[in-house]
Amino acid sequence: MDDKTQPPAPGTTPQPTPQGTPDAEAAADVIRDKVSRIYAAEPDAIQELTETEHVQRRTKHQQFMHELSTSGKDLATIQTEWHNYYQNLPPDQKHQVWQEFYSSQSVLTNGPAASATPHTPADPQALAEHKQQAASTSTRAKKAAAKPKRPKPRKLRDARSTKEVQSAIRDSVTAGGKLKAKHHLQSLLFGLGMGLIVVMIFLFGFFNEVIIAPFIQPSRAAASTPLIVSNTSIAASAQPEVIIPKINVQIPVNYDGNTTDEASIENDLESGVVHYPTTSEPGQNGNAAFFGHSSNNIFNKGKYKFAFVLLHTLVPGDTFYLTYNSKVYVYKVISKNVVEPTQVEVLNPVAGQTATATLITCDPPGTSLHRLVIVGQQISPDPSGNTVATTASTAVSDAPATALPGNGPTLWTRLLRTPVGKGIVIVILVIAFAITIRWVNKPNRR
């Protein structure tokens, strides 16, 4: 027979390598190391405890866990003792514990039939995945068992007729038909009241100059001022002014205007009373004309929007003063008239008078419908010492005046001048037209 090792004959059982040889010991060490690494981890104590309670016949390991669970010890102590118990087991016993663990998991998840197939963990990573999957499966099973499935609610079809639905809606709107006439009246009054408030706010925004004007009364308690013929009673200021004692007015006068353009005059009126450039000046023969606001929109610029609001209280015999070029000129009211804006002849010299001053404003206050004209005769100093009037030169582009300047633009006018304002007005008109057409055609659709 050859010294070389022959393979076993067919049908014979191979003989194991004799114990004690170096090769056999090395192979055994490799197997022990694998088993030790595979079963280095241990089943979770809580999972093991749960599975132990679901088996009928317990192994010694399950019996040990059962005794721990019924000993009354806390969970931390149970986990510690289970860990110590598992670590002291030999590798084959650890293998048995894992077999029991997977068998119990299969019973909990798939029923008793699944326990017939043994499970052996291949490596630590697979072992960890199996543990995690088993724990999640057990948790889902418990939740599914504890929470009963509820049938999905079916959508019920409303069996009521259209008339019944309409009746139910009417009842809900009218509180089941319990609303009385007074309730409807209250609703109507509330709607009208809110609408009135909105309208008042709207009107005040656009026409506040008319609303506020009657309440501007700076000289309400002042008595009639006696005629003063001496120019020493009032000191001339460096700034030219118009002074009307009866209505407590002392306002600067702008003599710098050189155009009759109404927009330019309205702009100058923001800084006081404006001298009309084509008329004479104080100290000259002829008629000196001055324009001031009676009442202007409070949203417009300027501090003198109500300069002449009480000018209508002057009567013939009252006096007013003009300070100009460090002199004081005294005027006595000789006439008071309301004229149309187109009556520009009031700017001309007054027949039969050497020197006059004319105060002009809008009337009624807050509107530009008419013009109030107050003419005063110069009584001090003596007009015989006046110089000849020299008409101020106006802009070349100015045409002869065809209308007397009025109040500044209202909020409504300023809004209409802008593209945004025009767009808003067009939209409002279109909506109103559409509503009107719909309301007119409504009876035809019935």
Q: Above 50 in pLDDT, residue 397?
A: no
Q: How many domains does the chain have?
A: 3
Residue at 360 is within a domain? yes
Given 142, 160, 179, which residue is the final one in a domain?
142
Q: Are residues 59 and 104 in the same domain?
A: yes
* pLDDT single digits (tens) 176-231: 666 667 777 888 888 888 888 887 776 666 666 666 766 666 655 444 444 444 55
Residue 394 sits in the same domain as residue 420: no
Q: What is the pLDDT of residues 255-296, one digit of tens each?
A: 988 888 888 888 888 888 999 999 999 999 999 999 998 877
Which of the four pLDDT bands, split at 50, 70 and 90, describes residue 418?
confident
Return the percentage of the chain with pLDDT > 70, whole number. Answer: 60
Report if residue 220 sits inside a domain: yes
Confidence of residue 408 (pLDDT cuts 50, 70, 90): low
**pLDDT at position 31, please?**
65
Model pLDDT, residue 115: 47
In a domain, 13, yes or no: no
Per-residue pLDDT tens digits for 20-75: 566 666 766 666 666 566 555 666 666 665 655 555 567 777 777 778 777 778 87
The lowest-confidence range among 1-15, 103-117, 305-319 is 1-15
Range with the poorest average pLDDT among 93-97, 245-249, 268-272: 93-97
Q: Quick one: 262 and 316 in the same domain?
A: yes
Flag whether the pTM goes above 0.85.
no
Task: Note the pLDDT of residue 320.
Answer: 95
In a shared domain, residues 384 and 259:
yes
**Within this chain, do residues 295 and 349 fall inside the same structural domain, yes or no?**
yes
Average pLDDT over residues 90-112: 70
Residue 387 in any domain: the answer is yes
Residue 121, pLDDT > 50, answer no
CATH number at residue 372: 2.40.260.10
Are 100 and 59 spatial neighbours (Cβ–Cβ below 8 Å)?
A: yes
Q: What is the mean pLDDT of the chain?
A: 75
Q: Are residues 366 and 430 in the same domain?
A: no
Residues 322 and 423 in one domain: no
Q: What is the pLDDT of residues 332-349, one digit of tens each?
A: 999 999 999 999 999 999
Q: Report whether 264 contacts 274 (CB < 8 A).
A: no
Contact present, 276 and 261 (Cβ < 8 Å): no
Q: Which residue has the higher pLDDT, 7 or 391?
A: 391
Query: 38-42, 150-154, 246-250: which has the minimum mean pLDDT?
Result: 38-42
pLDDT reading at 11 higher than 60: no
Burial label for 431, CB within 10 Å (0-12, 13-18, 19+), is: exposed
Q: Is 15 a member of any domain?
A: no
Which ranges in 248-322 belong to alpha helices (H)?
262-268
In this structure, the answer to whether residues 396 and 415 fall within a common structural domain is: no
Q: Does 276 reside within a domain?
A: yes
Domain end position, chosen among 116, 142, 168:
142
Q: Are the C-beta atoms of residues 340 and 366 closer than 8 Å to each other?
A: no
Asked if residue 257 belongs to a domain, the reply is yes
Q: What is the DSSP string of 21-79?
A: SHHHHHHHHHHHHHHHHHTSS---HHHHHHHHTT-SS--HHHHHHHHHHTTT--HHHHH
Residue 394 has pLDDT above 60, yes or no: no
How much is the CA Rg of the chain, to the nearest whole Å?
55
**Average pLDDT over every residue of 142-156:** 63
In this predicted structure, the answer to whether residue 403 has a pLDDT above a threshold of 70 is yes
> What pLDDT does 346 receive?
95
Domain finish residue from 142, 173, 193: 142
Residue 121's alpha-carbon distances to 96, 107, 131, 195, in angstroms, are 12, 18, 10, 84
Same domain? For 363 and 429 the reply is no
CA geometry: angle 84, 90, 94, nearest 5 deg: 75
Please indicate, yes or no, whether residues 402 and 418 belong to a single structural domain of this protein.
Answer: no
Q: 95-99, 362-366, 378-382, 417-421 — which one is most confidently predicted on average?
A: 378-382
**Same domain as 241, residue 131:** no
- Return the higher-pLDDT residue of 11 and 378: 378
Split at pLDDT 50, 70, 90, the class of 360 is very high
Structure tokens at 67: 């005794």
Residue 414 domain-assigned (yes or no): yes
Range of the domain at 412: 408-437
- Judgement on whether residues 269 and 338 belong to the same structural domain of the protein: yes
